[in-house]
Every structure is written in C-alpha cells, then in structure tokens.
Structure 1
Amino acid sequence: MTLAWNLARREMRGGLGGLRLLAVCLFLGVLALAGVGSLSSSIIGGLSSQGQTILGGDLEVRLTQREATPAERAAIRQLGQTADVIRMRAMVRTISAKELLGELKAVDGNWPLYGTASLRGSAPSNATVQTALSKGAVIGEGLADQLGLKVGDTIALGEARFPVTGILDAEPDRAGEGFTLGPTVLIRTDALARTGLLQPGSLYRAHIRVKMPANADVAAATERLKAQFPDAGWRIADRSDGAPGVRRFVERLGQFLSLVSLTALAVAGVGVGNGVASYLDRKSTTIATLKTMGASSKLIVRSYLLQIGSVALVAAAAGALVGAFIPQLVVALAGDALPVPPALGFYPLPLLAAIGFGLLVALAFALPPLARAGALPAARLFRGGVEQWPWPSRRTLALAFAAAALVCALAIAQSSEPLFAAGFLAAAAALLLLLWALAWAIRRAAAALPRPRGVLARLALANLHRPGSMTRQLVVALGLGLTLFATLALIETSFRGEIARTVPAKAPGYFVLDLPKEDEAAFRAKVNGIAPGADLRMVPSLRGPVTAVNGTPVSEMKNIPEGAWILRGDRGLTFSADIPPGNSVVAGRWWSPGYAGPPLVSLDAEAAAQLGLKVGDSITVSVLGTEITATIANLRRIDWDSLGFNFVLVFDPNTLAPAPFTWMATVSPEASQDAGFTRAISAAFPTSSVVKVKDVLGQVSTLLTQMGTAIRAAASVAILAGIAVLIGALAAQARARIYDSVILKLLGATGGQILRSALLEYAALGLIVAGLALGLGTLAGWFTVTRVLQFTWQPDWGVALLTVFAGAAVTLLFGMAGAARALGAKVNGVLREL
C-alpha cells in the first residue's frame, strides 16, 4: 500500500482533470442526499427543541365536546400550573356584512405557558396580549387582511360582538394545532359563553395544558392520569412530540425525497463509471509502462483506486458541506411555507450517511472499469485505441454488486417504512437495467438497419453503434433522470386534473357545521327559501376517540399499525337508519328498520383491515365522556371521492339518538344562488359555521404545490447528474470525435456537413431517449395514480411532452457543442499525434 500510495500521490501531482466527471456527479448526488437529510433533521429538531412551545406546555390533556370534570381538573392541577384553551370553528362577521370562517381559540389568563405572543406594532409580550384580550378580541393577520379589519373595528362571533383590540403577529402554539380551515381569532374563555357557540353537541376541543416543575417526570405523570381516569376518553400529549401529525408528514416526505435523491445518486454512479473509464483510458500508456517495468495488476489497481478514492472523498465531503446549508437556503426562500421553524444547525448524521452512500455508489461503479484496466496486458494497453477491453472478473462484479446491495440495505434499514423503500429501490434498479437493455437494443438495431444512401445520414447512424459511441451512457443517464421527471409531472398533473374535473361534479358547494339539534326544520326551510331546489343532505354529528378494540384499551395496545389512523385522535361519529349515500356494504348486514337492540356499528372496510377486525368484533368509543361498546354489524366501502360527509364509524339510530349532537349539512346551490348564501345562513344561524368547498380546495392546492416544488427540486438533481454524465461522455470521446473530423476534412467534407451529421445523430438519439422516458414515465405514473393513489388517470400530456423533449433539446445542445469543439481542432496537430 505504501508503494501504491507513492505512485498515486506522484501521479496526482500532474493534475486530476480526467476525474472531473466523477467529482461533479458525486458532488451532485451527495448534495441532494445531504440537503434532504439536513432539512428533515432540522425540522424534526425544531419540533423536539420547541416541543413545549409548540404543545403549549409540558403536558396537554385534550377532550372532545366536553370539559374536564372537577375531579379530573383537580388531578391535573396537582401536576403544575395549568392553562385552559378551547378551540372550535366560528363564522367571523363584520359590521359591513362580510363574513369568513375562522379558528376560534378561547384562552385563559395563563396562556401561553411557554413562548411569547405578540401583536402587530408591539414588542413581544404576553402581558400586552392578555391586556388586549381583556378588552375584546385579537385576530390573526390573515383575518385582518381578508376582511379589511383594523384595531377599533367590531366583529361578531355567534351571538356576541367584540371590538378588535389587536392583530396577532406571533402565536407560539400555532404549529401544534395542525391544519385549520381559517385564520385565528382569540378571545378570553370567560367571554366564550356570550357567543352561544358552546352548546351540547357543538364541535369543540378543550385543552388543559400543564407547566410542570423542571425535574418532573412527564411520562410518569401521564401514566398516573391514565390509571386514575381510565374511562375519561381524553388524549394526553407531552412535550416530546407536540405536533405528531407534522412529524409524521415531515418524516414521510423526507423519506420520499431521500429515495428520489438516491435515484439521482444512481444516475451519478453511471457518470462515475464513465469518468473512471475515461480517466483510465487516458492513462493507458502510463499503465502499460508500469506493467512493462514489473508492476503487478494488484499494485496498479490499488494505486488508481487510491487516486479515485481521494477524489471521491473530496467530492462527497464538498457535496455534504454544501448540503448542510440547504436548511438555511430553504428558510431564506420559503421559510413561511415550513410547518415549524427549523432548528438550524449542524447535523452530522445525515451528512455522514450521504458521504457513505456516495462512496459506496462510487465504489460500485468504479470497480468494473478499474479491474478491466488492471487485467489488460501491457501490449494491448499500447493498442488501447483499437483494442476491446475485457469484461471484469466475477469477483469484481460480485464486489460491485455487494457495494450496491449495501447501499440498498442501509437505505431500507433507516427507513420508517421498509417495504415502501424496498419497492422504490427495486423499481429504480429495474428501470436502470431496463434502460441498459434498451441502450443495447438501440445499438444492435442501428447496426442491423440498412445503410442510408446519404453519406451524412449513414455516418450519423454508424455513430450510434460504433466502438466508443455514447449511446449507452446517454440512454441510461438521461433516460433515468427524464423518466423520473416525466413520472412526477404525470402524477402531479393527473392529480390536479382529478381535482379540477371531478370535484366540481361531485363536491357540494358548502359545508354547514354545528347546527343546533333543534334547528333542523328551520334550517331546511331557510335553505329552501334562499336556494330553492338545492341539493341538501343533513347528518347528525358527534366526536369521540376510539378507546378499546375487542376489549383491549388502545393505551395498552402495542405495535399499532401505521395505517391505523382511526386510533389516533378523535373520530367523527354519526348514526343512520339507512346506508349512507356513496357507501356499500361488503361484509355483514345493515340493521333492520326500527332496530332497538344492543349497540351496533358499521365500520369502514379499509380501517377494519388495518386493525384485523371482522363482523362480530367489538369497538369502544368515548362519547362526551361516556364509553359505548358496540358490535361490528357490517363493513362498508366508502367513496371518499364524493367529498361529502363520510364517517368511518356509523352507529345504529337507537344508540346515539338520545345524545346531544349537532347537525352537519352539505348544500349545493345553483351558481345563480351562490351569492349571499354564506351571509344569509350565518345571519339566521349565528352559532353555525359555513365552509365554502372552493376555499378548502385552494388550501389543499397550495399544500400540493409546495410538496410538488420540493419533489421537483430533488428530482432536478437527477437531471443535473444526467447532464453531467452527458458532458462527461462527450469529453470521454472527444479524441475520437477530433480524429473523425480530421479524417472527414481530409476526405473533402466541409465543416457544415460534419455539423449536419452530428445534428442528425444527436437529434435521433435525443428523440429516442425522450420517447423512452415518456413511455416509461407514463407506465410508472399510471400505476402510481390508478393503483397506489386510486385516482382516475387524467394527466396533462402537454406538460409531460414539454418535460421529456426539453431533455432531447439538452442532448442536442451539448452534443452540437461537442461537435463544434471537435471541428475546431487543427489538422496538422492531430496528424502529428497519430
């Protein structure tokens, strides 16, 4: 190794220009992985470091549609200082008859226990905010901007009016509250009763937050509360995971982007192999000289492996270093779009993982050309320009495959969903092999085709299959990158097409929530008066968590499946005598009309499959603090695309009809009846909330746009890596191109003819790659949309065609640049080198 290192060090003194392709490709691949990993870690770190602020306390007890009993409240207050928060939706109305759905949050004098709130135009101060709340309502900036409100104006909430005493600039616990349908409105809890919004059956959540002593055991306190009140039906969260929904979203998106980045690294690996092969081809004379002087193949392989490894390590480290600053760049460009402020800092684990992945990929792709160079005899190395290089040995191929397998194993092991990661990597590997096979088929087909009569066309066709052609490199590298981009473009446009074309036909125009139980007849009459003939559907609504499955408390269940979302948080509950529209029974039977027996429930078939439940099993829910155990009478398949009221749990009418509940309604007025609908309903039923479906879809569209931007940013690295591979391939055969140009000039060809020949060659190859990418991307996108996401296939072919044929244009552009450069070579200088 000492001799090998001395040889490597002396040769590196002469420059490593031939390994630039390896360095660029590794830099891009590691940059993508390190950037995604650092950003995910910084957001998760922000969730952890700001857990108390995001949650609003060290511990939080959440109750649905009820407040804590005196005994429960006394037990909670023993843990430390408490703050009460009640959250619900409410229509905000102005004196000028404008209205907007807001997220009403009633807080007591201790809010916030952690963090600092602030008002627009004032220094951050909880005391300032509390003073403003004691005099009226504090509204969010979004509400002020949309309704044109300022301090001193008056708003109506339910049956009460409040002066606007401040505009909220910072709300410390906002990130822990998840997705909301409107901007924030803050009032004091003692003013909530005046609104009339808090009625039996109203949809609201009561939060009791606790600030515990510094040395308190939060986990032990949580277990004591659960043991003391096993039937409370509450949810208890602690500061270690103040926003579990945000955490799961970030982890899953980060995992997907990491896998996309690994795909980009695979493209970069092709470039690494090409770069190493090109570098060793340039060094063929040096290698032959060393062999004639007695150097063994092992010594040569070790020497060049040290050179390649040194460059790879520097490139990977540089990529990781730049990737470490991706969180700062994202915060500067799109900080407001992030779910929580990330904890900016240095996160070594994702950086080291990215470097490790990069070096393993470099090893996997560099070993075959390195072994081939070491195995070639000296006499054949001196004839390297015309000699066919041997295939790597079985041992070399086994080592390369072992390095690739280790990359996949590590990626799967660190994934939160190993099956998904394994499937993604298997698909990427299959695509890589398929592109390799297609490149081979293109070369064979080009060799078998009849020779065109035109000299230029014949030359272009020959360049596709002659020794040293770039067909394989281009098809594999750009094909993989363009296929990934085409797949993402087709998935995104198809999903948007589903929303644009299906939602207007299926979705109701409005949701109306929190209608008092006794106002059913009055509401029907009002809708009929302002929108005659409008499609109206009303369903009773309650909420409550699932507390036990087949007698086993959820709190004691271990290894809950990831897809068992019905066990997390509160669930919407309803009852019905008939099968809900858009639902079909797939197992069991619906209860008979007028059923009056023990509690029965109908369960969504997909939720049942996640929990392994069947007809005859039991499920327990907590309704307003009362636990109800019901037998599963049947399983239903739900048409979620209808965007109507779809409930996972539907009870028989006999069980829940006596309970306090509110009505939920969907209304689809004609377009001419749409104007003034919200205002009329809000004025007649001030305690209800009116949600315009179009506004909700706008929020969803914004979220999808942000996700699409993040995915395209990661996927674009694959395109950049593909371009780097293309440039490297052009550079690798630069000598052959120069020789071709010189010979053609000597035979009488003009520069224009040579360029036209190159134009035909690169245009044909670019169109072939674009066509392959479009076909493979269509297949992958169709499978994802129709089989995984279970949507209809409605892509925007214009976007897809623009995406892939932009790749053809890139191929043509760089190919022509290389041809023009070769054309500029001096004939005399080249001939002297032959």
Structure 2
Amino acid sequence: MNLPLKLALRDLRGGLAGLRLLAVCLFLGVAALAGVGSLSTAIVTSLSEKGQSILGGDVEVMLTQRQANEAELAAFRGLGRVGEVVRMRAMASRLDGAESVLGELKAVDGTYPFYGSVRLEGGMPLADALKASGLVVDQAALDRLGARIGDSVTIGDARVRITGVLAEEPDKVGEGFTLGPTLLMSLETLDKTGLRQPGSLYRTHYRLKLPSSASPESVTEALNERFPDAAWRIQDRSNGAPGTRRFVERLGQFLTLVGLTALLVAGVGVGNGVGSYLDGKTRSIAALKSVGADSRTIFRIYMIEVGLIAFAAVVLGAVAGAFVPAIVVAFAGDALPVPPELGVYPVPLITAILYGLLAAAAFAIWPLAKARDVPAARLFRAGVERTKRPPLEVVLLSLGAALVIAAIAVTQAREPLFAAAFIAAALGLMALLAVLALGIRAVAARLPRPKQPLLRLALGNLHRPGSMTRQLVVALGLGLTLFATLAVIETNLSRQIDEALPREAPSLFVVDIPAGEAESFRKTVLDAAPGAVIRIVPSLRGPVVAVNGKLVSEMKDVPEGAWILRGDRGLTYSAALPDGNRVVSGKWWREDYSGPQLVSMDAEVGEALGLKVGDSITVSVLGVDLPATIASFREINWDSLGFNFALVYSPGLIESAPHSYMATVTVSPEEVPAVSRAVVRAFSSASVIRVGDVIENAGALLGQMSSAVRAAASVAIAAGIAVLVGAIAAARRARIYDSVMLKVLGASRGQVLLSLLAEYALLAIILSAIAFVLGTAGGWYVVTQVFELEWLPVWSPVILTVVLGAAAILLLSLVGSWSALGARPARALRNL
C-alpha cells in the first residue's frame, strides 16, 4: 500500500476537484444524523438523570378520586419518608368576578419538594409563601387575572391571597399535558376550598423518599403484591415523565430516519461525485496503466483518495452534530419539553460516522470498480460507450454496506418494524427511480424523431450511449420526492387544528358540576345565554383493573391500541346511545334496562384487546371494583370535541357511586365570557374550560413537532440541493463534449443552450409528476401512520414546492452548463 498511498497523497495536492461534492454530501448527511441523535440522547439523559426531581420522589403512588387508607399509608411510611400532593383543575377568580382562569391546582404538604427546588420570583421561601391561605401562581395566571402579588382571589369556597410567582417548578415536566397555569397551595388551604369531595375529579400523589439502600423496583413490586386490588399507578425515578420520554423517543426515531433518507440522497451525490472525479482522471488513469500500473493499484490509489476525503467529511459532520444540542438550547430552548443535559454523547456520533462511511462505501465502490476494470484503450472512448453492468462482487459489496446500515438502524430503533419499513421504502424508491430511468430511455428511443433539430438532439440525449439519464433521474427524482414529502407533512401539521375543529364545536367544557345540581346549572347557563345548547353527562373516573378476569397489572405485553389500560379513564352511564356514536357489534340496552351491569366499548380498543360481545371488563371506581359484561362495541366520532367515552355503562349499580357531572355549552363567541362568569359564581367547585385554550395548547404541541420536522427537513433539503448540483456537475464533461461538437458543426451558443434546456425540461416535467405522486404517498404514510393524525393536505404549497424544484433543476442546469457553453472548440478538443 506504500506506493498507492504516495500517489494518492500526491494527486490530492492538486485539489479536491470533484471530491468536493462527496465531502459536502457526506458532511450534511452525517451532521443531520449526529445532531438528531445527540439532541434526542441529551433530552432522554436529562429525563433519566433528573428523574427524582421530575417525579418528585424515588417512587410515586397515584390514586384517583380517593386518598390512601390507613393500611396503605402505614405501608408507605414503613418504606421511607412520605409526601402528599393533590392535583386537580380549578377556577381562580378575581373578587369582582371580572376575570377568571382555569388552572392546574397543586396542593402540597410541608415535605414538598423532596428533590429539586421550587424557586419564586423575589426569592421568598415556598413555606413562607404558602402560610395563611397563600397562593403561588404562574406568571400566565397573573396576566390572565389582571392581578398583582398581594391581591386576593377565590378558589372554590375559599378566599386566598397571591403571595408569589413561580420561577422554577421541578416536577412540571412529569405532569404532562396541562390545560392551564399552575396554582400552588398547601393541603390545609385545599381543605378550605371544599373542592376535594367524593365524586370530584382529583388525583392524590404519594411520593416516597427511600433510603439509599432501597431499590425503587423492589418497593414497587412489594406494594403491588401487598395491595393487588389498590387500583393505583406506581412510577419510579427511572422514568419520571413516561409520556414526554415516549414523545421524544418517537420523534427522535422519525427524525433519525429522515436523516438516513438525507444520507441516502447524499449517497447518490457521493456516487455521482466519485464518478465525475474519476471521469476527470481519465488521462491520469490511462497514463498509469500505460506505464505498467495494474488494476489493483489503480483501485487502491483512488480508494485511498475517496476514503481520506470521506473520513474527514464524516468526522467534521459528527463534530458539527455534537454542537446541535447547545445550538438548539441557545435559539429554541423554550420549545423543548425539558432542558437537554449538554455534553458529548459518543454513541450517536460514532453511529453517524459509521453510517457515513458505509454510505460512502456503498455508493463509491461501483465508480472505483469501473476505473479499475476498464482497459486503458477504452478509457479514451469512455464518454461515448455504454456503461457495462457492475461485476457481481461490486454489487454484493454495495448491497452488503447497505444491509449493514439497515441492520444498525433497525436494531437501534424503538420500533424496529417501522424502521425496517421506512428503510425498505427508501431503497424501494431508489429502485423504482432506476427502473423509471430505464423506461424513460426506452420510450425516448422509440418516440418519433421531431423535425426540429434542437428537440431531436434533446430527445436523443436521453437515450444515447454515455447519457446521464439514469444518474439524473435517480438523483433528481430523490431530491424532488424528498421535497414533496416534507411539504406534504409540513402542510398537514399546520392544518391539523383549524381543519380538525368541527364547525359546530362547543364553546365551553364545564367539569365538576356537583351531583344533584344539573338542572340548576342548566338554568344558570340559560339565564346568561338564552339560546345556549347544553349537554350534561355523568362523570366518573377509574382505571381498568381486569379484562376477562385477568389483572391488568399482570399483563406483560399491552397492545399499542389498548390505551384504556394505561392510567385512569373517564367513564359515564347513559340509557340512550350518545350522539356521534354508532353500534357496530352487539346491541344497545333498552332505555328502561335495570339488570346486571353492562358496558359499551370503543370498537378500536376492543379490536386491539381481541375482545368480543359477552366478555367482561372491571373498572375500579373510588377503590371499589365494578365488573361489567360487554354488550356492544361502538364507532366513535372523536373529532366532534364533545364528550366521548371509550366506556359507557348502562344505568344501574354505577349510579350509586359518588360522582359529578360535566357539560358542554355552545353559545356565540360574545356570550362566552358572560356564561363563564355566571357558572363560576354559581358553582365554586366547577371548572370552565374554553375550547380556544384547548386548541392553543394542542397547537403548541403540534408546533413543536412541526419545528422539529422543519429543522430536519432543512438539512435533508440541503443534501438534496447538493445532489442536484452534483448530478448536473457530473454531466458537465459530457456537456462540454456535446457543446464542442455542435459548435464545430456551426451551432451558436444560444442553440446549444436551448438544446440543453430542452433536455432538462423534459426530465423536470417527468420527474415533477413522479415526485408529486411518490411524495404524496410518503407524506400520507408519515402523517396518518407515524403521527396518527388526520389526512389534511394543502395541495397548493406541495404543487408549488414541486414546481420550484423543477425550476431549480433548470436553473442549476443552466449554471452547471455555463462552462460548457463557453468552451472553445480548439482547447476543448485538445483536452478531451
């Protein structure tokens, strides 16, 4: 290897030339992968390392609509220190009733917080702020109320004084999706509000601080064994925010696959760049072979050159990717669910480098093999000869590198089947474009020759020996399809909220209406808005504890679609079939039914669990198990923004359980404030939720997804543009030859330009149509199957994206061919 290394280093001293495209493509692809992997790892690491602070303890036991009994409390105290936190939604109103805000009420005892720290603006200690019915709020609550520190507000039956503004809340991330700002008070103040009573919607969290020698896993197992029927949910510090972690991991996986797609696109650029570089080395290769260099030496020389440039590019790309978490924190830190744990994470960086080197190998082997195997005499004719198929060993090496990339991606993925399908689709797209390229060449060869010479020349360039049709179709098709796919995803995300909102959605949700006050509530609303449309339903909550007699806690593999088994669920009972529901299996009970307890279940959940009519399900309501027989399965219109329940019970035993009511109210926008004030004044325990607030919070979540997709798209698009440039640059040598021959035969510069534009215009039109179809299909799959959102495309931006992509092809072709137009025949013929 000594001689090939010396020759390779000496050759590189003359400049990178065509290898610049190789370096740019690999740098962009590896930087995207390293950046996404580092950011995802930094966030997940932060969630793990701050698990105690996020959870609020080493172990947390959550109970719904009840407190722990004496036996349960004694068990908790026997394990370590115990803290109690109660969470519920509540309305805070100014004393004059002019403004109110729905907040996430958190009542804490003197142990809060076990880990982390609560920081208030101004530095007041939390214990001092919560004394004497003190209330600490988010700045958002203060702004909505138009209040200041020291003002008094009413919450439930209590009058409390705002004593501080939250600056830092350690367990905020672990609370998941919230509808309002935090309202923090003591448990003693909560008792004065009268909000915690049988039937009201609240959750009690018992947080355990364990001795250093205790294992959270063993504590969790011991509690579940001792109290198998407790119907509680236990988490430990290893996963303090499971919902956030799941979201970050899924989004990270998707963005990693987008990065792999960008690397795949870049790989085409690598192949074109190496091929173009070696085409420019025809004289050098011929000279080396003429003086006795064998094929192995030629292969080693240029393999070393390509390897050195590829290695430098992927290392620099990984270094750039390592800085992504710090850059994101600096410019968009507020959009992240939790501050990343900044640092250097070797695994995503090494993985990205490995991806880049394998991609370089997969796409560069064939051009290197062509330089190795073609005899010296044929090298002088290579521009007009048909390229032979690559040898079997070359195909196997390229395929092996691609399979290693796929294997790494699948084994590291959170959902291997999805990752495998994604990679298979990307490779299938490349294969499809290659087949389409063959089809374009075949059709172009069989079409009648136009009478116009320039059009005839453009058509001939698509199928003549040495044409770049295959390379251009694959490279440009991948780039345009990627642009179209990302445009489809982006427009769908931006339309989800506006278009998914039904035209006659309710204006307000009202929860925690006291039992027995339904008619009084109806009268209050109608007095404030005589034309209001009101729907009132009973409201209970409880977790599903058993299915067909099997305890949920003993189920090892819960199906993905069986979401009702995770946490507590909203329940109701009804004599009549709810609006927006349709029975698809079984029968609805009679309105005067009074037999054993029956339940109707969401059909999709039932299918996920493999249930049928006649099976049983048990829900724990306030610690009491309520078994019921499945009477029917329903199709539910979840987009109605009304009250939709996966489980609807028949009237009967469930009616005797303490519960409250919830309602939807539909009024004009002008009447919303008046109705909200009237309900808050008349029912201190009720919480009023404005639909606009729900939409705003959901929009913020979708905005985070959209921003993440846009960030990944920018790198992928940059790689696509590099490939477009590379594909056109790779054809430059052939274009110079064509231009010279045409000029020798008397063609003007304008005629040469028109012939080139005609060729690229034909390709752009064909590829735009193909990219639109393939991009739409890919975008549909990501939106509906990955993000599980409704299919709501906006076609005009997608079409505009494809049209602009086609225009970019024409513009870049003009720029890339400019040197060919200016080539002087005498000089060019001497250099060919």
Q: Is TM-score (shorter-chain normalized) higher than 0.5?
A: yes
Which amino acid counterpart does residue 132 of structure 1 have in structure 2?
A: A
Which amino acid counterpart does residue 37 of structure 1 have in structure 2?
A: G
Which amino acid counterpart does residue 287 of structure 1 have in structure 2?
A: I
The alpha carbon displacement at 1:209 in A equals 1.0
CA–CA distance in structure 2, aligned partners of residues 63 and 120 of structure 1: 32
CA–CA distance in structure 2, aligned partners of residues 494 and 48 of structure 1: 33
Quickly say closer, same or farther: Cα 1:677–1:439, change in 2 above 3 A.
Answer: farther
CA contact (8 A) 1:102 1:182 kept: yes
* SS of 2:798 mapped into structure 1: helix
Number of aligned pairs?
A: 830
Partner residue in 2 for 1:426: 424
Partner residue in 1 for 2:808: 810
The alpha carbon displacement at 1:51 in A equals 0.3
The alpha carbon displacement at 1:781 in A equals 3.7
Quickly say closer, same or farther: Cα 1:786–1:40, change in 2 above 3 A.
Answer: closer
Partner residue in 2 for 1:117: 118
CA contact (8 A) 2:45 2:340 kept: yes
The alpha carbon displacement at 1:476 in A equals 2.2
* SS of 2:234 mapped into structure 1: strand
Q: What's the CA shift string for 1:136-176, capped at 9, x where partnerless?
A: 11110221233332212222212222221111111111000
Q: What's the CA shift string for 1:564-607, capped at 9, x where partnerless?
A: 32221111111122222222222233333443333322222221
CA–CA distance in structure 1, aligned partners of residues 88 and 372 of structure 2: 72
Which amino acid counterpart does residue 605 of structure 2 have in structure 1?
A: A
CA–CA distance in structure 1, aligned partners of residues 730 and 476 of structure 2: 17
CA–CA distance in structure 2, aligned partners of residues 602 and 644 of structure 1: 18
After TM superposition, the structure 1 stretch with the greater mean CA deviation from structure 2, 282-291 or 711-720, is 282-291
Map 1:489-528 to 2 at 5 A: 489-494=487-492, 496-497=494-495, 499-528=497-526
Quickly say closer, same or farther: Cα 1:468–1:700, change in 2 above 3 A.
Answer: farther
The alpha carbon displacement at 1:783 in A equals 5.6
Partner residue in 1 for 2:102: 101
Q: What's the CA shift string for 1:88-126, capped at 9, x where partnerless?
A: 11112124511121111111121111111111233xxxx
Partner residue in 1 for 2:322: 324
Which amino acid counterpart does residue 30 of structure 1 have in structure 2?
A: V
Partner residue in 2 for 1:660: 658
The alpha carbon displacement at 1:278 in A equals 1.4
Map 1:156-195 to 2 at 5 A: 156-195=154-193
Quickly say closer, same or farther: Cα 1:391–1:30, change in 2 above 3 A.
Answer: same
After TM superposition, the structure 1 stretch with the greater mean CA deviation from structure 2, 429-438 or 224-233, is 429-438
Partner residue in 1 for 2:69: 69
After TM superposition, the structure 1 stretch with the greater mean CA deviation from structure 2, 215-224 or 732-741, is 732-741
Partner residue in 1 for 2:265: 267
CA contact (8 A) 2:8 2:304 kept: yes
* SS of 1:223 mapped into structure 2: helix
Partner residue in 2 for 1:635: 633
CA contact (8 A) 1:473 1:726 kept: no
Which amino acid counterpart does residue 800 of structure 2 have in structure 1?
A: L
Quickly say closer, same or farther: Cα 1:534–1:469, change in 2 above 3 A.
Answer: farther
The alpha carbon displacement at 1:358 in A equals 1.7
* SS of 2:60 mapped into structure 1: strand
CA–CA distance in structure 1, aligned partners of residues 10 and 494 of structure 2: 58
Partner residue in 2 for 1:141: 139
CA contact (8 A) 1:137 1:166 kept: yes
The alpha carbon displacement at 1:613 in A equals 2.3
Quickly say closer, same or farther: Cα 1:485–1:819, change in 2 above 3 A.
Answer: closer
CA–CA distance in structure 2, aligned partners of residues 781 and 542 of structure 1: 39
* SS of 1:169 mapped into structure 2: strand
CA contact (8 A) 1:485 1:716 kept: no
Quickly say closer, same or farther: Cα 1:149–1:812, change in 2 above 3 A.
Answer: farther
* Identity across matched positions, percent: 58
Aligned with residue 539 of structure 1, among 537, 540, 559: 537
CA–CA distance in structure 2, aligned partners of residues 181 and 643 of structure 1: 15
CA–CA distance in structure 1, aligned partners of residues 478 and 673 of structure 2: 51
CA–CA distance in structure 1, aligned partners of residues 785 and 730 of structure 2: 42
Quickly say closer, same or farther: Cα 1:791–1:322, change in 2 above 3 A.
Answer: closer
Which amino acid counterpart does residue 325 of structure 1 have in structure 2?
A: F
The answer to whether the aligner puts 1:409 opposite 2:410 as a matched pair is no
CA–CA distance in structure 1, aligned partners of residues 416 and 204 of structure 2: 37
CA contact (8 A) 1:583 1:637 kept: yes
After TM superposition, the structure 1 stretch with the greater mean CA deviation from structure 2, 136-145 or 768-777, is 768-777
CA–CA distance in structure 2, aligned partners of residues 94 and 671 of structure 1: 22
CA–CA distance in structure 2, aligned partners of residues 694 and 740 of structure 1: 63
Partner residue in 2 for 1:132: 129
The answer to whether the aligner puts 1:376 opposite 2:377 as a matched pair is no
Map 1:591-740 to 2 at 5 A: 591-740=589-738
CA–CA distance in structure 2, aligned partners of residues 82 and 672 of structure 1: 48
Aligned with residue 337 of structure 2, among 326, 339, 344: 339
Map 1:76-475 to 2 at 5 A: 76-96=76-96, 97-122=98-123, 128-135=125-132, 136-475=134-473
**TM-score, normalised by the number of residues in structure 1:** 0.94
CA–CA distance in structure 1, aligned partners of residues 295 and 817 of structure 2: 36
CA–CA distance in structure 2, aligned partners of residues 464 and 146 of structure 1: 66
After TM superposition, the structure 1 stretch with the greater mean CA deviation from structure 2, 754-763 or 260-269, is 754-763
CA–CA distance in structure 2, aligned partners of residues 443 and 331 of structure 1: 50
CA contact (8 A) 1:51 1:240 kept: yes
Quickly say closer, same or farther: Cα 1:121–1:439, change in 2 above 3 A.
Answer: farther
Q: What's the CA shift string for 1:618-645, capped at 9, x where partnerless?
A: 2222211112222222222222122221
CA contact (8 A) 1:486 1:804 kept: yes
Partner residue in 2 for 1:530: 528
CA contact (8 A) 1:19 1:276 kept: yes
Quickly say closer, same or farther: Cα 1:469–1:507, change in 2 above 3 A.
Answer: farther
CA contact (8 A) 1:264 1:481 kept: no
CA–CA distance in structure 2, aligned partners of residues 192 and 573 of structure 1: 25
Which amino acid counterpart does residue 709 of structure 2 have in structure 1?
A: I
The alpha carbon displacement at 1:252 in A equals 0.8
The alpha carbon displacement at 1:540 in A equals 0.9
After TM superposition, the structure 1 stretch with the greater mean CA deviation from structure 2, 789-798 or 184-193, is 789-798
After TM superposition, the structure 1 stretch with the greater mean CA deviation from structure 2, 743-752 or 427-436, is 743-752
Which amino acid counterpart does residue 45 of structure 2 have in structure 1?
A: G
CA–CA distance in structure 1, aligned partners of residues 375 and 413 of structure 2: 45
Quickly say closer, same or farther: Cα 1:298–1:666, change in 2 above 3 A.
Answer: same
CA–CA distance in structure 1, aligned partners of residues 561 and 312 of structure 2: 42
* SS of 1:27 mapped into structure 2: helix
Partner residue in 2 for 1:59: 59
* SS of 2:723 mapped into structure 1: helix
Quickly say closer, same or farther: Cα 1:785–1:167, change in 2 above 3 A.
Answer: closer
* SS of 2:584 mapped into structure 1: strand
Partner residue in 1 for 2:49: 49
CA contact (8 A) 1:543 1:572 kept: yes
RMSD: 2.4
* SS of 2:601 mapped into structure 1: strand
CA–CA distance in structure 2, aligned partners of residues 506 and 480 of structure 1: 43
The alpha carbon displacement at 1:297 in A equals 2.8
CA–CA distance in structure 1, aligned partners of residues 95 and 459 of structure 2: 76
Q: What's the CA shift string for 1:12-32, capped at 9, x where partnerless?
A: 444433312111111111111
Quickly say closer, same or farther: Cα 1:208–1:491, change in 2 above 3 A.
Answer: same
Which amino acid counterpart does residue 108 of structure 2 have in structure 1?
A: V
Which amino acid counterpart does residue 674 of structure 2 have in structure 1?
A: G
Partner residue in 2 for 1:26: 26
